[in-house]
Amino acid sequence: MYRIPKNFGLWGIHLSLIVLLGGSLLLDCFYEEYEGYGLVSATGGSVVEFVSTQDDFEVILDDSLTFFINGYKSVKKGDSFSLGNYDFFVLEFCKNGIPTRNADENSRELKNATGYTGFSCGKSGGDEENFPGIVLRTKHKRWGSEDFVLLGLDEPQPWILEGGSKLYFSHRSANLPFTVHVYSMDERGADIVIEGMSTIDSLRLGSSAPLRYKNYTLHYKGFMPMSSTASLVLFDLNKCTLFFVPYVFMALFLLSALGFYINKFFAKKKVHHEKYS
């Protein structure tokens, strides 16, 4: 008769603990957080836009061409990149930026959608105004015309380049396998429709009852009135690639504990048999 190895239970319990501890240490490497924004007005709802809460950014040209920036240290002064018909050269890029409306006489005049004309980077950790921004020199590939643009992070208005192209600087948008539409909300929750999940259609997302699907968790955070007829609806979305770690730990632990007690039972039975045989 086949028997479970003698130390199967102990080794299995140790392995399950290693899986749990290792998964906990690696969790931060595979964990992503996003903030979601949807607009509900008198005319109806909208698609919820999710953006990264980490230092992941993108320069977007005409809502289609994107240059990704992973952290403040990944791009420095003097770097360049191209999008469409434009070449871009980085003049400044930092988290603790200091924008001004009255630029120094010796500096080039910057153009900005919110009215600032000057920008400089302060020291990290100081009392500088926390204004993440990027200053770009743009050059049209065919016309050769140049422009100097200051883009503040997540500005509501794009800068219009020569030629009519729109330029944004924002947090990186989430690339999700589904789309969330929000149609109504109150203090207790929001009515949403999720497309892309074959088993989910319209549902009520409560403020204290997050929606879990595979390695995503969607939370309703509330809403902010924007006008008498429109409100901004807020969501949080978490993605955890190692969501299965607790389940693997429990399966290994229970299987190992079962093997340990089975071995213990057969050991007692063998001693009893030898004692009375």
Please write the tens of the pLDDT for every residue from 245-270.
566 656 666 666 666 666 666 655 55
pLDDT recorded at residue 80? 92
Q: Give the pLDDT confidence score for residue 235 in this predicted structure.
A: 92
The Cα angle at residue 154 between residues 235 and 46, in degrees rounded to 5: 45
pLDDT at residue 89, as a whole number: 93
pLDDT reported for residue 153: 85
Q: Are 69 and 87 contacting, i.e. CB atoms less than 8 angstroms apart? A: no
Q: For 4-18, 179-193, 216-230, which range has the lowest pLDDT when averaged over its residues?
A: 4-18
pLDDT at residue number 277: 55
pLDDT tens-digit readout, 57-94:
889 898 888 898 888 888 888 899 999 889 999 988 88
C-alpha distance from residue 234 to each of 131, 134, 171, 224, 230 (Å): 23, 27, 16, 8, 13
Q: What is the structure's pLDDT at 170?
A: 87
What pLDDT shows up at residue 1? Answer: 46
pLDDT of 104:
57
Percent of the chain with pLDDT over 90: 7
Per DSSP (E only), the strands in the chain are 31-41, 46-47, 49-52, 56-61, 65-70, 80-83, 86-94, 97-100, 118-121, 133-140, 146-152, 159-160, 166-171, 179-185, 189-195, 202-206, 211-213, 216-225, 230-240
Q: How confident is the model at residue 105 (pLDDT cuts 50, 70, 90)?
A: low
Mean pLDDT of 169-192: 87
Span 137-169, pLDDT tens digits: 899 888 888 888 888 888 878 888 877 888 989
**What per-residue confidence (pLDDT) applies to 269?**
56
In the predicted model, what is the mean pLDDT of the chain? 76
Q: Give 247 or 170, the one with higher predicted confidence.
A: 170
- For tokens 């050991």, name the residue: 267
What confidence tens digit (pLDDT) does each residue in 7-63 have?
655 555 556 566 556 555 555 555 678 888 898 988 888 888 888 877 788 898 988
